[in-house]
Amino acid sequence: MLTEKTILLADMNSFFASCHQSQDPSLRNKPIIVGGSPTDKRKGMVIAASYEARNKGVFTTMSVFEALKKCPEAIVVKRDHPLYSAYSQKIMDFLRLIGDTEVASVDEAYVDITPHVKEGKNPISIAKYIQKTLWDKIQIPCSIGIGENRIIAKMGADVRKPFGVTALGRIQFCSYFHPQPLHVLHGCGKKTEEKLNKQGIKTIGELAMADPLHLKMLLGLRGQFLQQAALGASSDRVDADRRKGDKTIGKEKTFSQPTFDQDMILSIGKNMVEHLIDRLTKKELRAKTISIVYKLERTGGSHTKNKTLPEATRDADTIYNTVSTLFEDHLVETPLWLFGVRLSNFENVTYEQLKLF
């Protein structure tokens, strides 16, 4: 790839189920469903499924009861978020040895391999080395996309699963993705797809060639962003500080269906604030910027609204009142698929004491 940057996106395959299969070898090569309720495994939702279960028609957000109808031989295991976090930490620490790494989620990360490529190393060989090492060491499979920027790497990782490696240039990206429907485009949710379909825009290629002014009138700035993505254009920056150290801390909850319930959401928000206050206290930090995070579409991107306070704080009432105000100003009677709270713009407690005196 003779480009300025070479970015890869490593996406762990069926991560939650793979963690259980890695921890318990007796579960390998068997259909695994992660989910169910604490009292009755046949109730609740599927939050993850191994490829052996997916091949029988099981998918996330399906009820466990329905999933077991499609795959009666499936083994239902209880979700274990500390287990997933521990595996994620191992994976991210390994990827940081390869190059600057930006954690995108618990099971995927962008890695800037430009220095290795400039030294003459083949990017596909680097990707296969990552795959082999993760499998040999912790038995976690992953797919990897390689490109000159984030959107090409991200969408390339979805081309071959599991265990795929896909390297695409800009022309190859357009050739492969332009005939495909809009929901394949990263960041284009179901509602956006429906809105564009009504305007006669049904494929990624048609979106790429659409009138930019028409898209702006239809979708605002989001239209410009999606059109650039459809053209295979996006940032090539990998932020190695993201989710590393104390840049930001947060907590999020995804709902099984969109909810309008203001009391429930604010109650969840209050619990999140209490959890984050504990983390601030342990780290001896105060936060100046409070953000709410939300999703309007299940498969769409996250949005944020934030407020920066005059003084950094770790007072629970102050932070919760800010969260509540942000919610009431922006999200009342809005159906949400996800809600979360993030704190950032930190000051050390010792620094604040010096400033006061």
> Which residues are catalytically annotated?
108
Q: What is the DSSP letter of 55?
A: T
| Cα(105)–Cα(12) distance, integer angstroms | 10
Q: How many CB atoms lie within 10 A of CB 266?
A: 16
DSSP codes of every residue in 173-215: HHHHHTTSBGGGSTT--HHHHHHHHHTT--BHHHHHTS-HHHH
222 SS3 class:
helix
Q: What is the DSSP letter of 74?
A: P
Counting DSSP H helices and E strands in the chain, the numbers are 15, 12
224 SS3 class:
helix
| Cα(33)–Cα(352) distance, integer angstroms | 48
